[in-house]
Structure 1
């Protein structure tokens, strides 16, 4: 599998996993989404907002139109609005990945960090990080959903693969 196909698969998986996460969150009582939790971003809503912020930051850097915002920015306080923005963001990621070539993926990206200086990194590493970052925080949300009385999420990449292939 070439790099373009690999990152397209990750973009599709990312959107699939996010749909499952949001479905699980929608089944919780609304107060459970904002209830304090033991996590880096201390609620389900704050963690979901962080994921959207991070994706907007990374995609803006990758597309050459960087934006700046704090990593703990609350973009949407309403769950339904956040969910709609997440769906749109996942589509933006999928659309962006479709524009890539192996040569672009093999190039470097220079970007300004939110918390530190400027970096130049291999673009494939940055793309991999963007998807890995989602997985990292979705795991935290999965734990918070269980803590709130929701069902366990089966959102590993292999589950996506079994469903799609």
Structure 2
């Protein structure tokens, strides 16, 4: 499987898992959704907002790369988040709609990449203004890993609240092809 196929799989997984997470969140009461459970971003809603904030920051960075700019133009038109713990949406309905919008742009962005784009160097500033230059493929891996990391935290928060989000394994999206080694 080449890198583009792998990133396509990760983008599909991201969308699939976000749908499951937001469906589970919709089954929670407002009190449970906003209850500070001691997670890094406090509550389920806080953590889901963080994912939108971080994805927005990264997608804006990716948009600075010529290969990514066209697919991510709508992201550039969004306001810049002011902090990693910013609550962009206080209500789940608006957060869900925005999450779905972001996921569609992530899928489009990944689908428009060429294999040669993945070795491009992405130069960006972190939230403290420090400049970094890293290969796009490595930063994309971080982007998807970050999402999985925080969705894992949300999964734990759901468990503590008695809510089951169901199966979450990436393996479920991998085709039924047996490879002999």
TM-score class, shorter-chain normalisation, is over 0.9
1:26-74 CA distances to partner (integer Å, 9 max, x unpaired)?
1112210000112110100000000001111111101117745311111
Number of corresponding residues? 163
Indicate the RMSD between aligned Cα atoms, in angstroms: 1.7
**More deviation in 22-31 or 37-46?**
22-31
- Do the aligned partners of 2:53 and 2:81 also contact (CA within 8 Å) in 1? no
Structure 1 residue corresponding to 2:144, chosen from 108, 131, 137: 131
Distance 1:21 1:45 in 2: 11
Q: Which runs of 5+ in 2 are unaligned?
A: 70-75, 177-181
Distance 1:144 1:127 in 2: 26
Are residues 1:28 and 2:28 paired?
yes
SS in 2 for 1:109: strand
Once the two structures are superposed, the pairs formed by residues 113-128 of structure 1 within 5 Å of their partners are: 113-128=126-141
Q: How high is the TM-score relative to the length of structure 2?
A: 0.85
Q: How high is the TM-score relative to the length of structure 1?
A: 0.92
Where does structure 1 differ by over 3 angstroms across 4 or more consecutive aligned residues?
65-68
Q: Which runs of 5+ in 1 are unaligned?
A: none
SS in 2 for 1:145: helix
- Do the aligned partners of 2:21 and 2:165 also contact (CA within 8 Å) in 1? no
1:71 maps to 84
1:143 maps to 156
1:162–1:31 CA distance, 2 compared to 1 (3 A): farther
